[in-house]
Amino acid sequence: MMPTTRRTTIALLAAALVAAGCGKQEPPKPAADAPKPPPELTVRIGMAAPLTGPQGHLGKDVENGARLAIEEANAANIVVGGNRLRFELVAEDDEASGTKATVVAQSFVDRKVVAVIGHMNSGASIPASKIYSDAGIAQVSPSATAISYTAQGFRTTFRVMANDSQQGRVLGEYAVRQLGAKRVAIIDDRTAYGQGLADEVERAVKAAGGQVVGREYTTDKATDFRSILTSLRARKPDLVFFGGMDAQFGPMVEQARTLRLQAQLMGGDGVQSAQFIKLAGAAADGVVASSPGLPLDKMPGGAAFADKFKAKFNTDIQIYAPFAYDATWAVIEAIKAAGSAEPARLLEALGKREHRGVTGVIAFDEKGDIRGGGVTLYSVKGGAWQTLETIGGAAPAEAPAPAPAAAPAPAPAK
Amino acid sequence: MRDPRRLRLVGLALGLLALLLAPFLVDALLGRAWVRVLDLVLLYAMLALGLNIVVGYAGLLDLGFVAFFAVGAYLYALCASPHFGLHLPFWLLLPAAALLAAGVGVLLGAPTLRLRGDYLAIVTLGFGEIIRIFLNNLNAPVNLTNGPQGITMIRPIEIAGVSMARPVELAGLTVPSLHLYYYLFLGFAALALVVSSRLEDSRIGRAWIAIREDEVAARACGVNTRDLKLLAFALGASFGGVAGALYASFQGFVSPESFGLTESVMILCMVVLGGMGHVRGVVLGAALLVALPEALRYTGPLQRALLGSVYIEPSDLRLLLFGLALVLVARWRPAGLWPSPVRRRELAERHAPGGPESAQ
Amino acid sequence: MLGSIYALVALGYTMVYGILGLINFAHGEVVMVGALVAITAIGVLGPATGLPGPLLLLVALGVSVLACMLLGALLERVAYRPLREAPRLTALITAIGMSIVIQNLAMLAWGRQYLSFPALLPNEPMILLGATVTGTQLIIVALTALAMVVLMGLVNRTRLGRAMRATAQSPALASLMGVNVDRIVVVTFLVGSALAALAGVMVAGYYGQAHYHMGFMLGLKAFTAAVLGGIGNIPGAMVGGLALGVIESLGAGYIGALTGGFLGSHYQDVFAFAVLVLVLVFRPSGLLGERVADRA
């Protein structure tokens, strides 16, 4: 008993000392590691995505995209403010969980990352965004598309992918006007992504004069869709839109073909992947899907990116790697423009700068959404995605719909 | 020779001091992320204590406990966010969350009274999923829960006009938001602990244990098994409801995907691994299972120190090691890390005098 | 259709439960390993031997059954045998832990991406008795039926089966009667794992894909099916599996019509669980189960 008590007392004394000490240095640390003049300066950039669990392949895709950008930047010997910058990617697994995401976010703040690429899911990006906002660290999501993510009034939230409303509008209008679909059926997977996109498509289809003849639902773990496809078949749709991911759309397309469902099949960016074609096999032919940004093979550096990715990681690009790559370069370019890797100056430069990435021009509006993000439509022909056309893009002053007037832009979130 | 009572008192005071200083200590030594982990440990301790009443005391295997957590969280989220434009105060919402969750607990308990063991497990699992599916789908035709998109911008708890989301200046000392939440959660966890351990020693607690050991015999002895089972469900659920409301204010965001089956399974693991029916063990279980996956993020430096370089990426290894840890702990401490003395004795007896058959 | 796969997986749960009273939560992961091993076997053997599709599939199935039996035996020996005397819920924790371990190992071994299962069987839809079916579907149903008949024969007609039933009733008494309980338990795991491998190959072949996370949901559904039928009861697992399959597709296809459009297919799982709860409220031991007294 005695030794324990004495040891505890000593520990507590130490604790009290430490506590008193840290009480003074408590106010938000300005992270002023920029002006010191060592020749090499390590700059940490955080990356958070689900690296395990059902979405592990997508999260790894984000990590790989970011890693490629970091390695290129290190090879380019970027000198800022007299220091040669050595970038370091701090990759963490948020398990697609909002709870874990906040712990990861806090650990990024502790480790003094200058910006964060992520999170992948809206459900993780949103709770984490408050922590980044409090710390004044820029958060650039490669893939969170929920409208509410950038609508919280934080200055630190950005994304390089068109949000649900931007993409859903293009998809809905294209379905009705270009593909001539009068009767549209919609399926979604009841995730934040699938449901959000499907709702926006439904809205756009109705606005364009189409009719929504059926709405069915599945989950992001299902593999059998025969029942819902059969019940949709009875309503004779011209087109079936699916809001969800390729792992479901692959078998769904195949099952639709065996059920002889005579309708154009369409999906969003979640299905515009090489994996979808592998999973659906021959049934994939003729399927239309969209992806935000411009086609990779038409972009300067796009084809090179795809080759480098394949060579380095020996795996296909899933979906988000190009976006993560662009998000990472956006941060690096902002550091160059600001002449400093200090989070506050980086943040300011990030909001103003624009640069040409592999998915299009990366520039942000006052909410942090990508400005005038184009959406490209593709269709499967002969076992590969072929570009149909790009809608919007390049021209920044497009979009009358997202009404930027009401944006609560300058509200200092601190 | 010193008076053992005084010694205990000193120990208690020191322990209390340690608990009070913990967030500052952890912040200084490990970083603020660990204060957040500490907050979550307390939150999950509340949940595990709630489930412990149902599983540990009354012996009802519940695989849908997260439903009560969800009910509490959504009640708070809906009544304190711009979603409905409601901003009810927390001192109203916390008891409401407890009551609502207790009500749902009774609702769940009533039809399942006749079920035992694994049949009960699968039905509670079903109830948990049903609640989650409803939360996920009630955005149409009337937008009640905002569906899969979840509810954002939930207001933090305010006490006397002071928001817990901002640092507070107190006698020259800045207390950050995470520390404030720590003290709040500590208070509620302590309350849950006291209520749990008082219950254990009460008539009700002994009746629950009688039901757990042998329901038929308990009924024969005049125990009202129906009411007592419902009471266990209701009380356990109310702990979950309060924890849920606290979680909603802490995170500022809730969405249905946070309330899946894996969460229920993890809470059950905390109870079983800590030591079923033993409050201190359960709290230890919660601490271990919340902190371990976070600690395992840092295996990179460890690998470098032991093996020279990083062979397997920490993110690949993390959950693998976590799973192994579960297996190993269950292997070496089958009764839980810190079982209640009674249970330890029972197990020892079962093994000692010529148990049914030798283990190997 | 999905029902017969549930039934096969449910059999594995129910056999282990019947004998050990243990919910083998890692059983779904064995199914997953079965599917992934088969894909690898096809990928390696296909080009090397140039076997025709159906034969190649059969060989791959054999490899995957062997691999899964090995895994099952390993699981039993390493994870469950040391805990046979421990409280039941502790073994549940081990099962959950093993499930996490196997899943993450598979993630490292096979990578994170979805793998596609090559179409080795004719998949042309044909009309049979007014319903559209494919060759694969017919084969799955036939194989499931065959597996069940063999299993019933094994359990009810052989010495081994008698020993299994004796062990299920009382391990202590069975061992007094000269039954090697350890051996019987291993055999149970072997048989259950072989069925899991069969189910894994079927489900991957049928939907054309496999992924390290596929076992979780499948295992859960199969466990539900086993409970629905009455856990520990072999015909019960089959009935439960088939019933769950039917309930699910009914829920997805007709719930809208049944409720006048009030509830859509997003409530299909609610429908499935509601049926489950109703069945268990009126028959607390499942469809075919007997009353068992047990504790949590």
Tokens in use for B300? 């990179």
- Give the mean model confidence (pLDDT) for residues A167-183: 95
- Give the mean model confidence (pLDDT) for residues A143-154: 94
User: Running DSSP on this structure, what letter comes out for residue A209?
Assistant: T
Tell me which of 3.30.70.260, 3.40.640.10, 3.40.50.2300, 2.40.40.20 is the CATH number of domain A165-292.
3.40.50.2300
Nearest to A110 among B32, B152, B253 (CB): B32
Q: Which of C242, C124, C211 is nearest to A254 (CA)?
A: C124
In this complex, do B119 and C273 lie within 8 Å of one another by their Cβ atoms? no
- Contact residues, chain B, for C172 at CB < 8 Å: 356-357
pLDDT in tens, C5-49: 999 999 988 988 888 888 888 999 999 999 999 999 999 988 888
A318 to chain C: closest CA residue: C113
C-alpha angle A105/A113/A346, rounded to 5°? Answer: 115
- The neighbours of chain B, by the rule of 3 or more Cβ pairs under 8 Å, are A, C
User: Running DSSP on this structure, what letter comes out for residue A298?
Assistant: G
How many contacts, defined by CB atoms under 8 Å, are there between A and B?
126
Give the residue with greater pLDDT, A298 vs B88.
Answer: B88
Q: Which of B185, B238, B190, B229 is nearest to B67 (CA)?
A: B238
| Bond from prior residue into B83 cis (ω within 30 degrees of 0) | no
pLDDT in tens, C129-161: 666 677 788 888 888 889 888 998 998 899 999
pLDDT at C130: 63
Q: Any chain A CB within 8 A of the CB of C254?
A: yes
pLDDT at A402: 36
Task: Give CA–CA dist B119/C228, Å, rounded.
Answer: 8
Q: Number of helices and strands (H, E) in chain A?
A: 12, 15
User: Range with the lowest mean pLDDT among A246-250, B105-109, B180-184, C123-127?
Assistant: C123-127
Tell me which of 3.30.1920, 2.60.40, 1.10.3470, 1.10.10 is the CATH number of domain B22-276.
1.10.3470
CATH 3.40.50.2300 in chain A, residue ranges: 40-162+296-364, 165-292
Which DSSP string corresponds to C32-82? Answer: HHHHHHHHHHHHHHHHHH---HHHHHHHHHHHHHHHHHHHHHHIIIIIIGG
C207 to chain A: closest CA residue: A251
- Contact residues, chain A, for C208 at CB < 8 Å: 250-251, 254, 279-281
Interhelix angle for B261-275 vs B32-51, to 10°? 80
Task: Give CA–CA dist A153/A172, Å, rounded.
Answer: 28
pLDDT at C183 over 80: yes
pLDDT at C87: 84
User: Running DSSP on this structure, what letter comes out for residue B251?
Assistant: H
- Give the mean model confidence (pLDDT) for residues A11-35: 44
Domain range list for chain B: 22-276
Fold annotation for A40-162+296-364: Rossmann fold (3.40.50)
- Give the mean model confidence (pLDDT) for residues A48-72: 95
Nearest to B253 among A26, A106, A126 (CB): A126
Instruction: Provide the percentage of residues in chain C whose pLDDT is more than 90.
Output: 42
H or E element, residue B302? helix B299-307
- Contact residues, chain C, for B322 at CB < 8 Å: 100
User: Range with the lowest mean pLDDT among B33-47, B92-106, B210-224, B225-239?
Assistant: B210-224
User: Running DSSP on this structure, what letter comes out for residue A376?
Assistant: E
In C186-215, the residues whose Cβ lies within 8 Å of chain B are none
pLDDT at C282: 83
Task: Give CA–CA dist B170/C134, Å, rounded.
Answer: 73
pLDDT at A5 over 90: no
pLDDT at A411: 40
pLDDT-derived band at B122, boundaries 50, 70, 90? confident
Task: Give CA–CA dist C223/C214, Å, rounded.
Answer: 15
Q: Any chain C CB within 8 A of the CB of A262?
A: no
Most confident of the following: A21-25, A317-321, C228-232: A317-321
pLDDT at B121 over 70: yes
What are the distances in angstroms from CA A380 to CA A277, A278, A289, C20?
A: 8, 11, 9, 52
pLDDT at A375 over 70: yes
- Give the mean model confidence (pLDDT) for residues B41-46: 97
What are the distances in angstroms from CA A61 to CA A316, C84, C93, C105?
A: 9, 42, 32, 19
CA C34 to chain CA centroid, Å, is 11
pLDDT at A24 over 50: no
Task: Give CA–CA dist A376/A374, Å, rounded.
Answer: 7
B142 to chain C: closest CA residue: C262
Task: Find where tokens 């608990």 sit.
Answer: B19
pLDDT at A409: 38
pLDDT at B80: 94
pLDDT at A33: 52
Interface test with C, best of A51, A52, A259 (most C CBs within 10 A): A52
C93 to chain B: closest CA residue: B269
pLDDT at A4 over 80: no
A150: closest CA of chain B, how far (Å): 11
pLDDT at A397: 37
How long a stretch of residues is chain C? 296
H or E element, residue A11? helix A2-24
Task: Give CA–CA dist A182/A93, Å, rounded.
Answer: 44
How long a stretch of residues is chain A? 414
A223 to chain C: closest CA residue: C207
pLDDT at A132 over 60: yes
Interface test with A, best of C100, C202, C220, C265 (most A CBs within 10 A): C265
Q: Would you say C279 and C239 are in contact if contact means Cβ atoms under 8 Å apart?
A: no
pLDDT at B72: 97
- Give the mean model confidence (pLDDT) for residues B120-129: 90
pLDDT at B355: 36
Q: Would you say A37 and A79 are in contact if contact means Cβ atoms under 8 Å apart?
A: no
| Bond from prior residue into B141 cis (ω within 30 degrees of 0) | yes
Tokens in use for A322? 């190009």
ipTM above 0.85, yes or no: yes
In this complex, do C266 and B213 lie within 8 Å of one another by their Cβ atoms? no
Instruction: Provide the percentage of residues in chain A whose pLDDT is more than 90.
Output: 75
Q: Any chain A CB within 8 A of the CB of B28?
A: yes
pLDDT at C99: 95
pLDDT at B349: 62
